[in-house]
Amino acid sequence: SNSFVKEKWFMLGGTIGADKWRFEAGYNLVRINNYVYFDTTGVPKQASGVTITSAFVQKDIKLGGLHFTNRVVWQANTNKNVISLPTFSVFSAIFFEYELVKNVLVGRLGANVFYRSKFYAEAYTPATGQFYNQREKKIGEYPIVDGFVDFKWKRAVLFFKADHINQGGHTDQTTADT
């Protein structure tokens, strides 16, 4: 039996880029008043206000048929007990693109890599179907690599992807961080 006040969101952001140099940068500011969340015991709570700030840069490089895309994101917030976010996230994609049949069929072979700094990800309670804050184990500081191959024929794309192909090589030596 809670009587929460309605959430109010204020968002401000922008990007600047140069297509000629395949570069983009941006900044976002989000202020959430009366934010409703589930605390570490799974009980709904309301925070008076949380501000989230983020910035990113993205650079695409193309050398013949080789494409390389990188995006780095920085983010912070004013109440880590309410919302836990990784401070840094990095996404990189490298792929080779080749025209197999001129003006008809293009093939791509490559990999995506995703990395983020350590943070407390939310836990899930199946009984209530809700995510809640947990402070027992941090995740992150580990790259996730996906391999892919795709074929574009006119307007159709046939896409094959192997998720987290490096998962067997990681042993979790993380202990509880409080």
Residue 26, pLDDT score: 98
Q: State the pLDDT confidence band at 141, using cuts at 50, 70 and 90.
A: very high
What b/e sequence results for 54-86 when a residue is b if at least 16 CB atoms lie within 10 Å of its CB, and e otherwise? bebebeeeeeeeebebebbbebebebeebbbbb
* CA within 13 Å, CB half, 124: 2
pLDDT (tens digit, 9 = 90+) per residue, 40-55? 999 999 999 999 999 9
d(Cα 142, Cα 110) in Å, to the nearest integer?
Answer: 20
Q: Is the pLDDT of residue 176 over 60?
A: no
Q: State the pLDDT confidence band at 169, using cuts at 50, 70 and 90.
A: low
What is the residue whose two structure tokens read 């994101």?
73
Q: Is the pLDDT of residue 21 over 50?
A: yes
Paired with 109 in beta bridges are: 96, 149
Q: State the pLDDT confidence band at 168, using cuts at 50, 70 and 90.
A: confident
Whether the model clears a pTM of 0.95, i.e. scores above it, the answer is no
Residue 154, pLDDT score: 83
Q: Is the pLDDT of residue 101 over 80?
A: yes
Phi, psi of 65 (to 5 degrees): -90, -5
Q: Is the pLDDT of residue 1 over 90?
A: no
Strands (E), 4-155: 8-18, 23-38, 44-63, 66-77, 88-101, 105-116, 123-125, 130-132, 144-153
